[in-house]
Amino acid sequence: MSTSTTSQLPSTYKALVFKSASAPPTVESLPTPTPEPGSVIIKPLYSWIFNYAVDIYANGNPRSYPVTFPIVGGGNAIGRVAAVPPDAKSLKVGDLVTVEPAVRERGGPRQSNVFSLGLSMNGTWAELIRVPLENALPIDEAALRKRNISIKDLAFYPQLVVAYGGFRDVGLIAGETVLITPATGNFGGAAVHVALAMGARVIAMGRNEKILAELKALAPERVETLALSGSVDTDVAALAKYGPIDVFQDFTPPMATNLSHIQAGILSVRVGGRINFMGNANDLEVPYRAIVYRGLKIYGTLMYTREQALDLLKLIETGTLKLGPAAGLTTKGVFKLEDGSAALEFAAKEAGAGRAVHFAPNEE
């Protein structure tokens, strides 16, 4: 096993720091952390800039995310191990890893005491980051090379793994039909790719008809698309044409005001079916009686487990879940940390379903 100390690292590193949600970010030099027991230091190669980042770190934080300013932004990355402590048993310097955004209490339940990189802890938009050992998942780089998967294409992983966590929680199996709403955003669009890789049939609902057409083209015989009407009755009638729905997965964001599609989705699930809420919608009026009489099971999922993430990586490493432009997953832009504000604005316009924008603090 290799070990490393800060003597092999620079004394400082650059990071994109946000002082408040109303001030532009600045690149600052911060003291290099040491690899303490139970932690690992990572050099982020590509770190996803989600399209709503500008509404968290700028514009006054209209989404009201609980950000602890000042903070280094960014919640996840694909990176290389830069330093490890003596108690690291499996990771070594140079390993390719994911950086997972949710830092959980060791030994606690899944939802307890969750801290988030880029919100309550310094994040991945930096040349270095120290995270708990369990937040760095190893990637089989030889398998990537065998299948000609680039590290930049692998950087779609953070979008894909979220939906996978929800599908695993509800027990989605091959041959089932899953309804995804809204399917035209970051996570909903990624969910279509994941569901197809898991062998499911997909009904994708959303407002952007151009993106719906792109999702349909992924697998024309297994993907149905439907534009949101804004009416519960209209959507229920339209969904009925596609037959029984086994699973309904929803990613509605907090900015949504019309939640009729959620009610329509619930009312369209078959008797004994499952509903998976993964979004951040405000209070919702639900069809209580329908849920009871039809024996529907509702699951709320926050992100995913370590086991689920490792299994999603296997789908990628084996080529079961395809990546890259040929698979409908395109990188629209790669930015330096110094381009912070411009990068967030670009992502707000260009990122979304099948489209990613990244910072590359240590691009390979």
Query: Nearest-CA neighbor of 245 among 215, 274, 212, 216?
Result: 274
Query: What DSSP string runs through 65-133?
Result: ----SSEE--S-EEEEEEE--TT-SS--TT-EEEE-SEE--TTS-TTSS-EEBTTTB--SSBS-EEEEG
**Other C-beta atoms within 10 Å of 181: how many?**
25
pLDDT for the residue 273: 98
pLDDT at 331 over 80: yes
Q: Taking residues 46-51, what's their average pLDDT?
A: 96
pLDDT for the residue 201: 98
110 vs 287, higher pLDDT: 287
Q: Which two tokens stand for residue 172?
A: 């989605």
Outline where DSSP puts E strands in 189-314. Answer: 201-206, 223-227, 245-250, 269-277, 297-300
307-319 confidence digits (pLDDT tens): 999 999 999 999 9
Contact 28, 337 (CB under 8 A): no
Contact 182, 261 (CB under 8 A): yes
Band (pLDDT 50/70/90 cuts) for residue 344 is very high
Question: What's the CA gap between 275 and 345, in Å, rounded?
Answer: 34
Quote the percentage of the chain above a pLDDT of 70. 96
Please report, for residues 44, 67, 191, 199, the alpha-carbon distance to residue 78 in angstroms, rounded to integers and kept in the order given. Answer: 6, 23, 20, 27
Question: What's the CA gap between 170 and 222, in Å, rounded?
Answer: 20
Question: What's the CA gap between 17 and 24, in Å, rounded?
Answer: 9
Number of Cα atoms under 13 Å in the Cβ half of residue 125: 32
pLDDT at 135 over 50: yes
Band (pLDDT 50/70/90 cuts) for residue 255 is confident
Band (pLDDT 50/70/90 cuts) for residue 113 is low
Give burial (CB, 10 Å; 0-12/13-18/19+) of 256: middle
**Rg for the chain, CA atoms, rounded:** 21
Q: What is the mean pLDDT of the chain?
A: 94
Contact 18, 53 (CB under 8 A): no
pLDDT for the residue 7: 45
Q: Which two tokens stand for residue 247?
A: 């699973």
pLDDT at 334 over 50: yes
